[in-house]
Amino acid sequence: MGLANLVPGMSGGTMLLATGIYPRFVSAVAEISTLRFRLPSLAVLATVIGAALLAVFLLAGFIRDWVVLHTWVAYSLFIGLTLGGVPVLWRMIGHSRPAVWMGALAGLAAMSALVLVQHETASGFAGEEADTLLLFATGVGGASAMVLPGISGSYIFVLLGQYVPILGAVDTARAAFTTGEPSAAIEPFFSILFPLAVGIALGLILVSNLVRLLLERCPNATLGTLLGLLSGAVFGLWPFRAPVEPSLGDVIGGKVVTSASIASIPVESWPVAFFFPSAAQVLFALLLVGVGFALTTAVSWLGDAMDEKRPAR
């Protein structure tokens, strides 16, 4: 789940679903939110969340650099990873009903609107200079990846322009501790990670209780909405884009680029522009889409096999 949460388009909730842990995880979060502290629920949360945090802590810097420097390669893979979640959700739905398609259309419209907002507001990976309220809202949105199958929390980070700053803060904190200078982690922790963590905690509690209620009372519309959100996520993952070196006079992060500042602007803050791909790039991108789809499908099959072997309760 931790690896999935680092990758835009990959859902941590889908990983929980594919490995058969999803119902227990949602129930455990809902129990804890009502101040019921049973040992089985605590064990599930400690194991899953602990392993996820370890993966994020160790690999945030690598994933950030890969996405920034090899954007079209990364996004091609992300498209496949995203589409691979569609069969997972469809198996949960089981049968086509009007409520499913109505929910799917609503989810598709919501994700399309979110993509349009991104294109209107974000100039690059870093987006605008983050503030506490935006990071809190980003955390609430990102918490959905831990609860809702098919929705990627890190994709929400990308849409809100906070993906690279968040991963950068995590990597800075990791470097501070590994080099024996924990004081260097104080600034990124309080300015970025703390408001993000508060938002994630609140979102996790709210969404887990809401999804349990919705799946009980209107499962078809709920799963259909998830299907629409998952399918619509592909709209924001057009791969053929790349960072463009800024020019004098450009405005980045609310500041005008000058001859004195241009050399110090990190590549993750450069504006991103679409480009016309070559035939070789298109073929390789399609190959990566297939690889991503196959990876998600393989995890799903693994989860099905494990679920069949698990004793009934």
Q: What is the pLDDT of residue 127?
A: 45
Residue 242 lies in a domain: no
The three-state secondary structure class of 274 is strand
Residue 264 lies in a domain: no
Residue 253 lies in a domain: no
Residue 36 lies in a domain: yes
Per-residue pLDDT of the chain (313 residues; tens, 9 = 90+): 887 777 765 677 767 766 667 778 888 888 888 888 889 889 989 999 899 888 888 887 787 778 778 888 988 988 888 788 788 778 878 777 888 999 899 988 887 886 776 555 544 444 445 567 888 888 888 887 667 766 677 777 776 777 778 878 888 888 888 887 888 778 888 888 899 889 988 988 888 888 778 878 888 888 888 788 778 878 777 889 888 877 777 766 566 777 777 777 767 667 778 889 999 999 999 999 999 898 878 877 776 666 566 555 4
How many CB atoms neighbour CB 152 within 10 A? Answer: 32
Q: What is the pLDDT of residue 311?
A: 56
Q: What is the pLDDT of residue 268?
A: 62
- Amino acid letter, residue 299: V
Total domains, the chain:
1
Residue 255 lies in a domain: no
Residue 78 lies in a domain: yes
Residue 252 lies in a domain: no
Q: What is the pLDDT of residue 126?
A: 45
Residue 254 lies in a domain: no
Q: What is the pLDDT of residue 124?
A: 47
Distance of CA 302 to the CA centre of its chain: 22
In the chain, alpha helices (H): 2-6, 12-18, 22-33, 39-69, 71-83, 85-93, 98-121, 132-142, 144-147, 153-159, 163-178, 186-188, 194-217, 219-232, 279-309
Burial 253-266 (b: 16+ CB within 10 A, else e): eeeebeeeeeeebe
Range(s) of the domain holding residue 188: 2-237+269-309
